[in-house]
Amino acid sequence: MSATVNETLIRDVVAEVLGRLGGVSATAPVTTPATAPPAASPACGCPAGKATSSAKAASRGKFGVFADANEACEAAHEAYQQLSDAGVAGRRKVVELIKEICYAKAEEWGRLELAETKIGRLDHKIEKLQGQRGIPGVEFLNPYGLSGDHGITLEEYAPFGVIGAITPSTHSIPTMACNIISMVSAGNAAVFNAHPGAYQCAVTAARYFNQAIRHELGIENLACIVEPPTLESFNAIAKNELVKLLCVTGGPGVVQAAMASGKRAICAGPGNPPVLVDGTSCLDNAAKCIVFGAAYDNNLLCIGEKEVFVLEPHFDKLMAALEKHGAYRLNSSQIETLAKAAFVFPPGQGAGCPHPVVNRDLIGKDPEVLAKAAGVTIPRGTQLLIGETTADHIFVEEEQMMPFLPIVRVKSVAEGVVASKKAEHGYKHSAMIHSHDVSNMTAMGKALETTLFIKNGSCLAGLGAGGEGYSNFSIATTTGEGICNPRTFTRVRRCVMVDKLRIF
């Protein structure tokens, strides 16, 4: 420890303590970084010299962490201007830093997020952070050029400025990290309001990111976060005139709130992805993919397989293959016992709410926990619980985000497509088919109109894991931008030179 302590670090620590005493609400929870962020060291020639942002911004928050949402927006706006001065090379450097840090801190931060949220699986939390390397960066923004008799026109992808970002409990640090990569690639700064049940780990990561960015580029507060996040801080961000765009990742409530805010919003909303198995493709591969996708992070992924419709003649074979690949089959009375534990109110009876309320104590929990709630003991290493239900079962209709997968027999592909569409609720999020029949694929694709439609793979193939394509944890379904990437966070600006500049 003593080897890393230096004058600047001591100054930073003192400033932070003073900031907390003077500028931060006494009621704000104090979080401690899991490890010390990179110490600002004059010996490396950058931090003291490059830290150019105003003393005003530094006195309000520290390394991007703010108690006041409006102050966070102001500081982010200053950072946006500094990023603009740092040019494309500056953006590229920030993106490299975030990716490197996420890779290096994957295990530590995976543990931190799991300890705070108590949902999901450590191995997958680690993978989600390591996978940030696959998020596209500055290279994604190729301008569009036109050259003709009347000169040259260039359309460029320009930043908005400050973006207000809301992140979910299901992947708090991964969503924040990939949002930063995409938003900063495009030249923006960001202010985050994390989920109240998953914000401490996000604050730790944000503080670390900002300290590293300051260390390398001298830019303060590029990715700000409000601590603690509240509905009031969401409203303040949504109303702040320096915030030009919102990006929300979450369920129906936050999507509705963002759309009602009057600000332009990119909404990565809820899903309830169905899978159709028509028996024309390899059932063993279908089962392997389904178990992998639905068990991933204990089925917390919005793209994860949430219900399966299988043609009747192939039902038994598929069930056996699912069991072979690590699923445990519950009988109907165990399913009903689990349903009673998993949903707090039956439909229509939840205090003015038309939906049943999912029991948060079971969301993202290990299969053993669900099995206990179902009154059964399962073998160690079980990946997923499965069981036969009807198409109108509560487990089919609700996005439950727990490792139980209802399997439904259907008599025809047409019936399976109709049932899939109903279960998907028009979210236009994700759907999967296991088939070698092009007409069946086309029928399902056309009927469901989902943002992601995966054929013969797990849901993760839709994010480039096992399929082609780039990744992101914000999939803008509701507003239609698709899997977020740097271009999602840009304004298109056209520059026209009349009659000149062509080289022939």
Ranges within 366-405 binding ligand NAD (CB under 6 A): 399
Regarding 299 and contact with ligand NAD (CB under 6 A), the answer is no
Tokens of 283: 């059932």
Q: From residue 152 to residue 181, what is the string marking binding to ligand NAD with x (rule CB under 6 A)?
A: --------------xxxxx-----------
Taking CB under 6 A as the binding criterion, the range among 15-23, 157-165, 408-416, 470-478 that sits at the site for ligand NAD is: 470-478
Sequence letter at residue 209: F
For residues 166 and 283, which CB has a smaller minimum distance to ligand NAD in the complex? 166
What is the Cα–Cα distance from 89 to 63, expressed in whole angstroms? Answer: 22
CB of 224 to ligand NAD, least distance (A): 15
DSSP 8-state code for residue 123 = H
Using CB under 6 A, which of 90, 270, 274, 403 touches ligand NAD? 270
For residues 221 and 479, which CB has a smaller minimum distance to ligand NAD in the complex? 479
For residues 86 and 483, which CB has a smaller minimum distance to ligand NAD in the complex? 483
- For 414-458, give the DSSP string: HHHHHHHHHHHTT---EEEEE-S-HHHHHHHHHHH--SEEEESS-
Regarding 365 and contact with ligand NAD (CB under 6 A), the answer is no
Helix (H) or strand (E) holding 145: strand 144-148
For residues 83 and 275, which CB has a smaller minimum distance to ligand NAD in the complex? 275
* Helices first, then strands: H and E counts in the chain: 17, 18
Longest C-alpha distance within the chain, in Å? 78
Regarding 486 and contact with ligand NAD (CB under 6 A), the answer is no
Tokens of 187: 């030249």
Regarding 234 and contact with ligand NAD (CB under 6 A), the answer is yes
Regarding 231 and contact with ligand NAD (CB under 6 A), the answer is yes
Regarding 269 and contact with ligand NAD (CB under 6 A), the answer is yes
Regarding 136 and contact with ligand NAD (CB under 6 A), the answer is no
Q: Are 250 and 168 in contact (CB under 8 A)?
A: yes
CB of 288 to ligand NAD, least distance (A): 24
135-to-23, 100, 181 alpha-carbon distances in Å: 35, 12, 7
What is the Cα–Cα distance from 40 to 10, expressed in whole angstroms? Answer: 10
Chain residues in the site for ligand NAD (CB under 6 A): 166-170, 193-196, 231, 234, 249-251, 253-254, 257, 268-271, 302, 399, 473-475, 477
